[in-house]
A and B are shown apart, each in its own frame.
Chain A
Amino acid sequence: MLTVKGLKAAYGMHQALAGVDLRIALGEIVVILGANGAGKSTLLRAVAGLCEGQVSGEIALDGLPLHTLPPEEIVEAGIAFVPEGRGIFGDLSVSENLQLGAYSRHARKNRIANLERVYDLFPKLKERGRQIARTMSGGEQQMVAIGRAMMADPKILMLDEPSLGLSPLLSKELFQNLSRISATGLGVLLVEQNAKLSLGISDRGYLIENGAITGEDRASALLHDPAVQAAYLGGATAS
């Protein structure tokens, strides 16, 4: 269980997060919905220890405090993060990317099993092992990014806008894969623009506005919430 309590973050005078509380259990998929600039990315970056602003509040994974740890120890503790833009090693091959994913000490022990799990999920990565990651299509690069994050043997996988730049078909495939990943016992915490598809696979969702959580509910309830529909589902009425 990852718990966040009273998380605040500021860039100079600008308050990006004004006391956020959330939790996510292993095996659960949780989506954070919000407009641009609402603080979604800052939230994930703060949990990963990568937020450049001033951060305060409590973050803990299964009782272990994370907010006092440097980024590499947060990876070690079991948080893997796929940032917006993916953050893969563009000049290295697919298999080098995956090997580097298992850099942390605990991941190294399980890297053979994890590699099998990744290849099982994304058979394409096995075929393309020697290809330089930068030369792949957007969807394939997203597979590399997620595969590499899974090589870190995480308890919680965090993704920032994973469907950005993907075609509707590829987005659908991506979300199906996230479902399969969470079925293996990982918690998946994602920030998304694509509210409909992401709510479709999620267990729960949070709404974030101006750096504060304004709503939390089961994903199926959010999908049918008129306010959510108006704000994030283009006003389309789900029947």
Chain B
Amino acid sequence: MDILISGLLLGGTYALVAMGLNLQYGVARIMNLANGETLVLGALAAFLAFTAISLSPLVTMLVVAPLSFAANWVAYRLLLRPLVKRAKSPGQLEVDSILATFGISFALVGLMVSIHGEYYTYSFLARPIEILGTTVAENRLVAALVAAGIGAALVGWLNFTRTGTAVRAVSVDRQAAQLVGINVARVSALAFALGGAVTATGGTLISTFITLDGSMGVIFTMKALIIVIMGGVGDLRGSIIAAIVLGLVETAVASLIDPGLTLVSAYVIFLGILLFRPQGLFGKRNA
């Protein structure tokens, strides 16, 4: 029961982060290796605001989200759009975007280390709270609930608004989207920026219960990638379920075997999925 509750809470927060990467990869077709750095930047902002002026991360989030949106929009327009334009095939775009965002991730790591080279750790709502007979840290519960709220709003937006529908349409079929008069370039930029905003928001939430430092982004990129591949590229519902699976497995491994093996368990799942279900848990066909 402990594992179930803790795993669900962790999975809920992971789900939000993976949604961010899914918007960037599934819609804008950019495999963003700097996704984890975006997350850590959100965490750094929350840490700095908390230690400097005791600002609640939940308030910092409201500033981080629009800033990350704007920064990701600019990054897409200036750095990534030229790659999309010149790519002759989806494969080439994938390679180019991986190389470009890998470079961006190094730049961001350097930037963050120069701002604050130590661990980002602060105490926010770090008090025990009991749910269903299990004791968890209040910050984990709050993070999971906020993540669930944002995730639900995102799913609602994608399904019930005109722009959200356009985002889904581009994700499903770019050519068909163009035929019905959707500006694919603009929707891609929007999805990329929104994905960045969601990821950074996830970072502020994660910073309340995990100690981070400037170089840890790659771990989160990998986790988000595992979740997106497991859930199926472009499939947000799949992402949510995959995130919860990952949260449960990590928690189970950490408490039953050894906390040091959580990453190993994540990679084992990843390998299994790549070998046996490369289209994702719920994928219908090979992309």
Contacts and interface: CB of A to CB of B under 8 A. Distances in A.
Interface of A: 48, 50, 70-73, 75-76, 80-83, 87-92, 99-101, 103-104, 107-108, 148-149, 152
B173 A72 contact: no
A100 B180 contact: yes
B91 to A, nearest CB: 17
A87 B175 contact: yes
A57 B284 CA distance: 43
A72 to B, nearest CB: 4
Nearest to A105: B181
Interface string B158-174: 00001001100100110
Interface of B: 162, 165-166, 169, 172-173, 175-183, 284
A72 B284 contact: no
Contacts of A87: 173, 175-176, 179
A152 B177 CA distance: 12
A71 B181 CA distance: 7
B178 A100 contact: no
Contacts of A101: 180
A48 B176 CA distance: 13
Given A99-B165, A103-B162, A103-B166, A91 B173 contact: yes
A87 to B, nearest CB: 5
A75 B181 contact: yes
A75 B177 CA distance: 11
Contacts of A81: 179
B284 A91 contact: yes
Nearest to A101: B180
Contacts of B169: 89, 92, 100, 103
